[in-house]
Amino acid sequence: MNVGEDDVLAAAESWRREGRGVALATVVETWGSAPRPVGSHLVIDDRENFLGSVSGGCVEGEVIAAAGEVIDSGVPKLMEFGVADETAWKAGLSCGGMIRVYVEKVE
């Protein structure tokens, strides 16, 4: 699904107004072959609904799981996925690059 960044941010705002816990994941750095550019967003609520993409599907599951922790704790998390990282292969990032994703709670 090709969702605009404005749609993702609007969903984050709407979900917060509805009283949901919300986290926003943002691609903050890429290197080599990366499926999504810096600035790409994925918004996740406390029911594991999500909209957007930070990796074209490669690592979304890992980011969604981390978002639940961030929503609960309020502590942001910087995640890194790359071909040299064993967890990246597990998560499916085999495109030859690296991405860093910052996950923060939306207040």
User: What does pLDDT average to in each consecutive run of 10 residues of the chain (107 residues)?
Assistant: 72 95 96 86 95 85 95 97 59 69 96
Q: How far is CA 61 from the centre of its chain?
A: 9
**Number of residues that make up the chain:** 107
Q: What is the DSSP letter of 3?
A: -
Helix (H) or strand (E) holding 31: strand 22-31
Confidence (pLDDT) at 86: 54
Q: How far is CA 44 from the centre of its chain?
A: 8
Confidence (pLDDT) at 5: 65
C-alpha to C-alpha distance for 57 and 4, rounded to whole angstroms: 16
Helix (H) or strand (E) holding 20: none
Q: Where are the alpha helices (DSSP H) in 1-107?
A: 5-17, 60-73, 86-91
C-alpha to C-alpha distance for 95 and 9, rounded to whole angstroms: 27
Confidence (pLDDT) at 88: 47
Confidence (pLDDT) at 81: 87
The candidate with the shortest Cα–Cα distance to 63, out of 83, 40, 84, is 40
